[in-house]
Amino acid sequence: MRSAGKGFFITLEGGEGAGKSTQHVHIVAWLEAHGKEVVEAREPGGTEVSEEIRQVLLDTRNAGLDSQAELLLLFAARAQLLQQVIRPALAAGKVVVSDRFTDASYAYQGGGRQLGVAAVAALEQFIHPDLQPDLTLLFDVPIKQGMQRVAGRGAADRFEIESIQFFERVRNTYLERAAAFPRRFRVIDAGQGQDQVWQQVQDILQGLPGL
Ligand SMILES: Nc1ncnc2c1ncn2[C@@H]1O[C@H](COP(=O)(O)OP(=O)(O)O)[C@@H](O)[C@H]1O
Ligand SMILES: [Mg+2]
């Protein structure tokens, strides 16, 4: 399914320390250098309301946050981001680059929290039945390697304190989705150095039809 509107919707997915934020910067610069109007987003967040929801989601004091409540909050933040930012940008023909989107809910809440595919699919169907990313870059890195990269990043948030088993479920769910939707997904070996990872991304961007 193509995204609604005439723009192009790119999402970046993967676990902690996979290099999403690092590559996001390169991707946006590359697109702009190729004459594209780019709108950046991140999840959860990207609007004032969504950033407030992000605070609730990441706050380690909310240790008692129920998994279903967590999933609903993520989709609440996403609904706001879609209405306020993503849909208008795509309708205006812009390229949207989002650091995470609904695949993250499949991976973290469906897989990691073990709520299952159906729960996430029901909300996806409710919030954006008409819209899928045109391209999803999955930055795949072994869990421990990713964790080592973010070790120096400061206090861990409510997701980052999860177990290795949780992150293995997240990673496996991402890879399963990439296998299930091969037209949309590109899996990047994010265990390589930054320059090699960027080279992989650039090769994909250069080969994109319709961008
Ligand atoms: N390919 C890479 N090899 C080694 N370190 C990397 C690589 N990509 C990113 N980093 C570093 O790892 C840390 C996490 O990267 P980041 O882009 O923030 O990951 P994410 O946004 O996926 O959590 C940062 O300190 C970043 O500089
Ligand atoms: Mg990041």
| 178 domain residue, yes or no | yes
Atom of ligand 1 nearest to the CA of 23: 17
Separation of 83 CA from ligand 2 center, angstroms?
23
Tell me, yes or no, whether 123 lies in a domain: yes
Measured in degrees and rounded to the nearest 5, phi and psi for residue 39 equal: -120, 125
Residues 6 or more apart whose Cβ sits within 8 Å of residue 38: 28, 31, 32, 94, 95, 96, 97
Residue owning tokens 């070790």: 151
Q: 124 CA distance to ligand 2 centroid (A)?
A: 23
pLDDT of residue 210: 73
Q: At what angle do helices 67-81 and 117-127 cross, to 10 degrees?
A: 30
What is residue 4's predicted lDDT score, i.e. its pLDDT?
47
**Nearest-5° angle of CA 149, CA 107, CA 138?**
60
Determine phi and psi for 40, rounding to 5 degrees: -100, 145
Angle, alpha carbons 10-184-109 (nearest 5°): 80
Residue 1: inside a domain, yes or no? no
Report pLDDT for 139: 98
Q: How many angstroms separate the alpha carbon of residue 203 from the centre of ligand 1?
A: 20
Quick: pLDDT tens for 48-57: 999 999 999 9
Spans of the chain, pLDDT less than 70: 1-5
The number of domains in the chain is 1
Contact predicate 122/65, CB 8 Å: no
Ligand 1 atom nearest 196 alpha carbon: 1
Q: Is residue 177 part of a domain?
A: yes
* Nearest ligand to the C-alpha atom of residue 150: 1
What is the model's pLDDT at position 154?
86
Instruction: Give the Cα separation of 139 and 110 in Å (integer).
Output: 19
Q: Is residue 79 part of a domain?
A: yes
Range of the domain at 181: 8-206
Q: What is the pLDDT of residues 12-50, one digit of tens each?
A: 999 999 999 999 999 999 999 999 999 999 999 999 999
Pocket of ligand 1 (CB under 6 A): 14, 16-22, 149-150, 192-194, 197
> pTM score, two decimals?
0.96
Those residues whose beta carbon sits under 5 angstroms from the ion ligand 2 are 20-21
Give, using CA atoms, the residue closest to atom 13 of ligand 1: 149
Answer whether residue 30 is part of any domain.
Answer: yes
Say which amino acid occupies 2: R
- Going from the Cα of 18 to the center of ligand 2, the distance in angstroms, rounded, reads 8
Pocket residue to mutate for ligand 1, from 27, 43, 149, most atoms within 8 A of Cβ: 149
CA of 89 to the centre of ligand 1 (A): 28
Nearest ligand atom owner, CA of 160? 1
Instruction: Please tell me the distance from the alpha carbon of residue 102 to that of residue 120, in angstroms, as a whole number.
Output: 8
- In angstroms, the Cα distances linking 16 to 157, 176, 192, 210 are 11, 18, 15, 30
Q: What are the CA-CA distances from residue 191 to residues 32, 142, 143, 174, 184 (Å)?
A: 27, 7, 10, 16, 21
Evaluate whether residue 137 is within a structural domain: yes
Q: Please indicate, yes or no, if residue 126 is contained in any of the structural domains.
A: yes
CATH number for the domain spanning 178: value is 3.40.50.300
